[in-house]
């Protein structure tokens, strides 16, 4: 029983513990090339949240990790079989209910640990912040916590070298041999502003990639995944710790 994982604890413990911050891991259930499982983003969210919370807890942060939400925004992958889209408006409704529970229980801080590029909680946080002014709501994308260039040869946008290495480290039994993986080659927008990154449009996934991957997975190893996971979770733990200890009325210096 890990004291920082809600689903592993009982009412007696929970009733008697004062928690400073809740962590909500948020994944997606979607195709990840031919070699990674649909649950890749959920596995990553669960493991990063748990390891970040473990380190933070040992440094005195009262963190409680909620069960991961398994469905992400997959509007661009509408034609990929069994990609389980949850619309942004539904996510807002789910998030509002979670925030309402925490608010009622006087846990005034929530961290959303996001694992999926299609999820974007910032506008939701703005709206819920108005409705629940006592709450400190924050989100992070763990995959942006450290520079992937320091760990991997090929850039990973989806199911590439980073994600494959991480799952080879965390759940190797769920990874098919890399010889079965597609090359993750992906087309880019013809429109210059979008290619440069300052303009944006959603990608129609199956027009961009043949194997659903965006990023070459073939140089992935468990060792790379382990080193990267350690670096990411150390940073995530520090973020959990800082949020736990932050004074909600004195956040700026
Ligand atoms: Zn993923």
pLDDT digits (tens, 9 = 90+) for 196-217: 999 999 999 999 999 999 999 9
Q: Residue 99: its pLDDT value, please?
A: 98
- CA of 152 relative to ligand 1 center, distance in Å: 16
Distance from C-alpha of 120 to C-alpha of 147, rounded to nearest angstrom: 20
Helix/strand number for the chain, H first, E second: 8, 4
Q: Residue 18: its pLDDT value, please?
A: 97
Task: Evaluate whether 235 touches 146 at the Cβ level (below 8 Å).
Answer: yes
Mean pLDDT of the chain: 97
pLDDT digits (tens, 9 = 90+) for 14-48: 999 999 999 999 999 999 999 999 999 999 999 99
- CA of 141 relative to ligand 1 center, distance in Å: 12
CA 91 to mean position of chain CA atoms: 14
- CA of 15 relative to ligand 1 center, distance in Å: 35
Task: Evaluate whether 115 touches 140 at the Cβ level (below 8 Å).
Answer: no
Please name the residue ranges forming H helices in the chain.
11-16, 40-58, 88-104, 122-131, 161-170, 192-196, 205-208, 222-245
Is pTM beyond 0.95? Reply is: yes
- CA of 17 relative to ligand 1 center, distance in Å: 34
Q: Which two tokens stand for residue 136?
A: 């400190």
- CA of 134 relative to ligand 1 center, distance in Å: 33
- CA of 116 relative to ligand 1 center, distance in Å: 6
- Distance separating the N- and C-terminal Cα atoms of the chain: 38
For 65, list phi and psi in degrees, rounded to 5.
-90, 125
pLDDT in tens, the chain (253 residues): 999 999 999 999 999 999 999 999 999 999 999 999 999 999 999 999 999 999 999 999 999 999 999 999 999 999 999 999 999 999 999 999 999 999 999 999 999 999 999 999 999 999 999 999 999 999 999 999 999 999 999 999 999 999 999 999 999 999 999 999 999 999 999 999 999 999 999 999 999 999 999 999 999 999 999 999 999 999 999 999 999 999 999 999 9
- CA of 68 relative to ligand 1 center, distance in Å: 14
């Amino acid at each position: 029983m890990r004291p920082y994982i809600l689903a592993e604890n009982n009412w007696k413990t929970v009733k008697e513990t004062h928690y400073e911050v809740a962590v909500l891991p948020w994944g997606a259930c979607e195709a990840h090339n031919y070699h990674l499982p649909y649950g890749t983003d959920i596995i990553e969210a669960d493991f990063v949240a748990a390891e970040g919370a473990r380190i933070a807890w040992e440094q005195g942060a009262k963190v409680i990790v909620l069960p991961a939400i398994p469905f992400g925004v997959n509007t661009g992958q509408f034609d990929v079989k069994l990609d389980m889209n949850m619309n942004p408006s539904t996510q807002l409704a789910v998030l509002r209910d979670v925030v309402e529970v925490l608010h009622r229980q006087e846990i005034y801080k929530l961290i959303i640990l996001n694992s999926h590029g299609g999820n974007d909680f910032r506008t939701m946080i703005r709206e819920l912040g108005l409705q629940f002014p006592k709450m400190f709501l924050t989100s992070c994308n763990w995959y942006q916590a450290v520079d992937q260039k320091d760990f991997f040869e090929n850039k990973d946008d989806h199911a590439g070298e980073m994600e494959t290495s991480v799952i080879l480290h965390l759940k190797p039994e769920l990874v098919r041999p890399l010889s079965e993986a597609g090359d993750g080659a992906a087309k880019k927008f013809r429109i210059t502003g979008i290619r440069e990154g300052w303009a944006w449009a959603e990608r129609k996934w199956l027009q961009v990639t043949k194997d659903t991957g965006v990023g070459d997975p073939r140089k992935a190893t468990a060792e790379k995944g382990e080193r990267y996971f350690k670096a990411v979770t150390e940073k995530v733990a520090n973020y959990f710790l800082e949020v736990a200890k932050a004074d909600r009325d004195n956040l700026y210096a």
